[in-house]
Chains A and B, each alone.
Chain A
């Protein structure tokens, strides 16, 4: 019985990490598609989302199965509960990657903007946050998780900066207006990715320390 449970837990951990790998790849590819103006890559991201969605359902089922069959307690229970929630966040991040890929396909129809906006910088920050939140999960590192939560403000600021920068464009640069809107949406999606990464970190802190820090993060 005990051994079966351990085996199932290991299986669950492998699955959620495979999921995180897929999501990280999706984000990386969608950003790359945007910066390289590569439509092929954007289509690949959109296509890969099906696999992520299937895996989400699989992980959900596995979590529920484990809860029902073994009635785990303490650390194991917290791990499964956190996995259930992280799974949800990862799936949403996958959707955001698809959104960025779709915006990229739209942007490819118009010539690139002449001015430089810090989207690559923001993308890098958001990606780093996601990566570190998953590292915190794998390493059961609540310290790193706290640190990632704090980085969310940076990304929020960049989002605001990009927004203001695009508003400041001359009317001539703003046409076609879809281009500016698409870029604002890309920044918004990146900001959401950072938010979901923060959620993952909160779940990691709950899993490791058993503490709930949501909504009122204190030092």
Chain B
């Protein structure tokens, strides 16, 4: 810039100097005057050059600064240059360029952020890989699913980031052959995850970008559900089959002659009766459970005090109790709040819990039934001092047909559905169940029922 200024300045100076010299010579002045004229000429030239320089250079300097700012990414730059000449027009174009650039960049940023937000809010894991095997984009769910801990995975080869042989093999195949693939993948560690992986080729016509997009969908829950369902069917049929086989066997023995021996026949009939009862219990439990699970179940809610219900339950179980010589301790809080429950269903849940406690407590044991308010809930504890439960069984205890000790449970006449029914009944009342236990020290099963705070509404 200074170069131009200097050149402009010198040119001006020369032109003015020469013109004044000629002027002096033409006027034919004496030497003294001549020197005077030259001096005046130099001064005028100086002043004039400065003025002209300032006039042209200031706007150019401003434009230079503005262009520098724009190139640094400051698109808000605006030149306030009120001129009608070429410089003014240039400044106008510069302004337009910067505002247009700003708009374009904002648009691109917005699109990019939109894309990023959409991809990262997806539940599925998404990864886009270019044909050069480098990762173009990936979202956070996939990083959790595949336990990816690499820093800045974008821009790096996928096989550096994903170290799963199976997945990488499929990705490689899809990239090489530009084809779609759909596979079921299982990862065992650190946690067992099943997912379906869908790889599809990405082609942008007319541009160099192409590659594959892989979408990972977590199907662990789905598989677990499918497995539970098939297990349920297998369990029910197995449970039904055992008593049926016994009944059939004893009936055949009776037919083949045992009927003549009254003593034996009576014993056999008793066994048949026992098994028939077990079948009946099982069918009832399955029906109960399915009616609770189907959404159509209607509960007969009423606001009641739990004390009479608990007393009924204990009376109901009295017959069994006599055989076991258990001691039952009632500990019901004086100011127990009212609850809003279906009486018969709640009774059933409590019977199941008490029955359970009695079965797994040796004769002469103590069962404590406590009911007290606990943080917005009425809590009912069934505590026993029986054999207890090992910690690894606790989380699955409320599952259908889950048994800690299969042989013993059946011997005691359990169907394996009791606790599952309790859980469903309590959940239908917006409550929850929990269990605490230590092997050899008994167990505490707790039911939490929401307190009915005022008429017509649940807490």
Verify A14–B165 contact, CB threshold 8 A: no
Are A21 and B165 touching (Cβ within 8 A)?
yes
Minimal Cβ-Cβ distance residue in B for A31: B189
Contacts of B58 in A (CB 8 A): none
Contacts of A25 in B (CB 8 A): 164-165, 188-189
Cross-chain contact B160 with A13 (CB below 8 angstroms): yes
Query: Is B324's beta carbon under 8 Å from chain A?
Result: no
B168-A29 in contact (CB<8A): no
Q: Are B164 and A21 closer than 8 Å at their CB atoms?
A: yes
**B149 CB contact (under 8 Å) in A24, A124, A135:** A135
The residue from B160, B165, B190, B192 contacting A22, defined by CB atoms under 8 A apart: B165
Closest chain B residue to A33, Cβ basis: B188
- Knowing A21-B164, A135-B149, the reply to whether A14 touches B157 (Cβ < 8 A) is yes
What band does the interface of chain B fall in when counting residues whose beta carbon is under 8 Å from A?
Answer: 10 to 19
Interface membership of A17, Cβ < 8 A: yes
**CB within 8 Å of B: which A201-218 residues:** none
Bitwise interface map of B from 148 to 168 toward A, beta carbon under 8 Å scored 1, else 0 = 011100000101110111001
Bound form: Cα–Cα A173–B226 in Å = 38
A17 to B167, CA, bound (A): 13
Asked whether B159 lies within 8 Å of A17 as measured between CB atoms, the reply is: yes
Closest to A137 in B: B160
**Interface pair B163/A27, CB less than 8 Å apart:** no
B-facing residues in A1-36 (Cβ within 8 Å): 10, 13-14, 17-18, 20-22, 24-25, 27-29, 31-32
A29 in contact with B189 (CB, 8 Å): yes
Which A residues are in CB contact (< 8 Å) with B147? Answer: 131
Chain B residues numbered 199-238 whose CB sits less than 8 Å from any CB in chain A? none
Chain A residues whose C-beta falls within 8 Å of the C-beta of B165 in the assembled complex:
18, 21-22, 25
Q: B189: which of A18, A127, A138 is its contact (CB, 8 Å)? A: A127
Distance between Cα atoms of A11 and B190 in the complex (Å): 28
B189:A28 contact, CB within 8 angstroms? yes
Interface residue? A175 (CB, 8 A):
no
Judge if A139 is at the interface, Cβ distance under 8 Å. yes
CA distance in complex: A14, B163 (Å): 10
Establish whether residues B160 and A17, one from each chain, have CB atoms under 8 Å apart when the complex forms: yes
- Report whether B160 and A18 are in contact in the complex, using a CB–CB cutoff of 8 Å: no
A190 on the B face (CB < 8 A): no
**CB of A3, distance to nearest CB on chain B (Å):** 14
* A51 and chain B: residue at smallest CB distance: B165
Q: Is A28 a contact of B160 with CB atoms below 8 Å?
A: no
A134 CB–B CB distance under 8 Å: yes
- Contact partners of A18 in chain B: CB under 8 A: 159, 163, 165, 168
Question: B164 contacts which chain A residues (CB < 8 A)?
Answer: 21, 25
User: For residue B172, which residue of chain A has the nearest CB?
Assistant: A14
Residues of A within 8 A of B189 (CB): 24-25, 27-29, 31-32, 127
List residues of chain B with CB within 8 A of the CB of A20.
Answer: 163
Contact assessment for A139 and B150 in the assembled complex, using a CB-CB cutoff below 8 Å: yes
Q: From residue A13, how far is it (CB to closest CB) to chain B in Å?
A: 7
What is the CB-to-nearest-CB distance from B402 to chain A, in angstroms, rounded to a whole number? 16
Q: Is the CB of B150 within 8 A of A124?
A: no
Q: How close is A195's CB to chain B, nearest CB, in angstroms?
A: 20
Distance A107 CA – B189 CA, assembled complex (angstroms): 21
CA distance A14 to B160 in the complex (A): 7
Shortest C-beta distance, B194 to chain A (Å), equals 13
- Chain B residue with minimal CB distance to A38? B188
Closest chain B residue to A116 by CB distance? B391
Contact A135 B150 (CB under 8 A): yes
Q: Which of B129-158 contact A (CB under 8 A)?
A: 147, 149-151, 157
- Given A21-B168, A127-B189, A127-B190, are A14 and B159 neighbors across the interface (CB < 8 Å)? yes
Give the shortest distance, in Å, between A49 (CB) and chain B (any CB). Answer: 14
- Residues A28 and B151 in contact, CB atoms below 8 Å apart: no
A134 to chain B, nearest CB (A): 7
Given contacts A18-B168, A21-B165, contact A138 B160 (CB under 8 A): yes
B163 touches A21 (CB 8 A): yes
Given A135-B149, A138-B150, A139-B150, answer yes or no on A17-B163 (Cβ-Cβ < 8 Å): yes
CA distance A10 to B159 in the complex (A): 11
- Inter-chain contacts of B190 with A (CB < 8 A): 28, 124, 127
B439 to chain A, nearest CB (A): 8
Evaluate contact between A32 and B192: CB separation under 8 angstroms: yes
- Find the B residue at minimum CB distance from A128: B190
Measuring CB to CB, which residues of chain B are less than 8 angstroms from any residue of chain A?
147, 149-151, 157, 159-161, 163-165, 168, 187-190, 192, 390-391
Ranked 3 nearest A-B pairs via Cβ: A28-B189, A21-B163, A32-B188
Sample (22) of A-B pairs whose CB atoms are under 8 Å apart: A10-B157, A13-B160, A14-B159, A17-B159, A17-B160, A17-B163, A18-B163, A18-B165, A20-B163, A21-B164, A21-B168, A22-B165, A24-B189, A25-B189, A28-B190, A31-B189, A41-B188, A116-B391, A135-B149, A138-B160, A138-B161, A141-B151
- Which A positions have Cβ atoms within 8 angstroms of B? 10, 13-14, 17-18, 20-22, 24-25, 27-29, 31-32, 41, 114, 116, 124, 127, 131-132, 134-135, 138-139, 141
Given contacts A18-B163, A21-B168, 11 further A-B contacts (CB under 8 A): A10-B157, A13-B160, A14-B159, A20-B163, A25-B189, A28-B187, A28-B188, A32-B188, A132-B149, A134-B163, A138-B160
